[in-house]
Structure 1
C-alpha cells in the first residue's frame, strides 16, 4: 500500500536548496504552475490539483510524527476528467485555494518540491515515497532526516500545517 513521509519547511534561499539538489544529481522534473482546491470532507482532506505537470484528485489524511507527517491515501486519480471531479466534489463546499509555482525534483524514491506560494513565500518539501509498501516507514523517515540535514533545514523552519491552513491564518 502507498505510504509517504513528508517534511515541509520555510525556505529562505530556494536557489541554494536547488543548487544542493542538483549537486546530489537530483532529476529535475520541471516547473509546475498549480492551483489546489480543497473541498469539505468528513475525514482528512479532499484536494483537486490542477497543474501543467501534476493533475490529481486526492483524498488523504496526514498524521503528525513529530516534525514529519505520514500520509494515508484513500483516493488518488491522475488526470481526472471534469465529469469525475464534478461527481466526487458535487455539493461539497470549497474550503480554500492555494496557488503556487512548484519546481519538482527526484532522487530515487524521494520527491522534492521547491514551492513559491502566493501570499506566503518560499517553502521546501521532502516527500519519501513507498509506492508498493516495500520500503517501510522507518526507512522513509531516515531518508527525510538525511535530506533535511543535507539541505540544512533547521527545526525552527519546519511547518506542520497545510498551505491552505497557513493562508487562512496569515
Structure 2
C-alpha cells in the first residue's frame, strides 16, 4: 500500500503561505475544486473525491489522529462516475458527511503542498511527503518538519484528524 507522511495546520496568513509555497515550488500551483464524501466504514476512512468535472477517485486510508507528521497508508482508484458511485456507496454504507474545498497544489521536491480553503472551516495547509520505496517514516517527518519551517507554519497551528472531523465537531456534516 502506498504511503505518505502528512501534516495539517490552520493558516493564519494565507498570502504569506501562498507566496512561500510559490517560491519553494517555482510555480503558481494548480487550483483543484473538490467535494469529498466520507462513508461509514469499520476501520480507516473511505472517501469519494469528486473533482466536479465528471471524474473522481475512491480513496481508502488509515492514519493516526494526532498533530504533527504522521504516516498515512492509502489505496486509490479513479472513477468516471463519481455521482453514481456516491449513490451506491451511500446506500450500502451510509454517509458520514461531505467536505467541500478549493485546493491549490504546489509540488516541492517529493512533497505535495496543499493550500486549502474549506467550506465552513476556513484556510488550511496540508503537506503530503510522498514516500519513496525504502524511505523511513522518520525521513518523511524530517522533510515535513523542514518544509513547515520554510513555510512559516508553527507547531501551535497543527491539527489532528481530517477536515470531516472538524466539520462534525462544529455540527456541520455537509460543509455548511
TM-score, scaled to structure 1? 0.88
CA contact 1:3–1:133 (8 Å) conserved in 2: no
1:163 aligns with 2:163: yes
- Residue of structure 1 equivalent to 2:60: 59
Q: What CA distance in whole angstroms lies between the structure 2 residues aligned with 1:160 and 1:81? A: 31
- Residue of structure 1 equivalent to 2:49: 49
Q: What CA distance in whole angstroms lies between the structure 2 residues aligned with 1:25 and 1:157? A: 22
- Any idea what SS the aligned residue of 2:92 has? coil
Q: How does 1:123-162 map to 2 (within 5 A)?
A: 123-130=124-131, 133-162=133-162
- Residue of structure 2 equivalent to 1:96: 97
Deviation track 1:33-80 (CA, whole Å, cap 9, x = no partner) reads: 11000000111000001115882101111125652221111x310235
Query: Cα gap change, 1:42/1:85 in structure 2, threshold over 3 Å: closer, same or farther?
Result: same
In the alignment, structure 1 segments of 5+ residues that lack a partner are none
> Which of 12-21 and 62-71 deviates more?
62-71
CA contact 1:100–1:118 (8 Å) conserved in 2: yes
Q: How does 1:4-23 map to 2 (within 5 A)?
A: 4-23=4-23
Q: What CA distance in whole angstroms lies between the structure 2 residues aligned with 1:80 and 1:50? A: 10
- Residue of structure 2 equivalent to 1:116: 117
CA contact 2:56–2:81 (8 Å) conserved in 1: no
TM-score, scaled to structure 2? 0.85
Q: What CA distance in whole angstroms lies between the structure 2 residues aligned with 1:26 and 1:160? A: 29
Instruction: State the number of aligned residues.
Output: 168
Deviant stretches of 4+, over 4 Å = 82-90
1:33 aligns with 2:42: no
- Any idea what SS the aligned residue of 1:97 has? strand
Kindly report the root-mean-square deviation, in angstroms, between the aligned alpha carbons of the 2 structures: 2.2
In the alignment, structure 2 segments of 5+ residues that lack a partner are 171-176
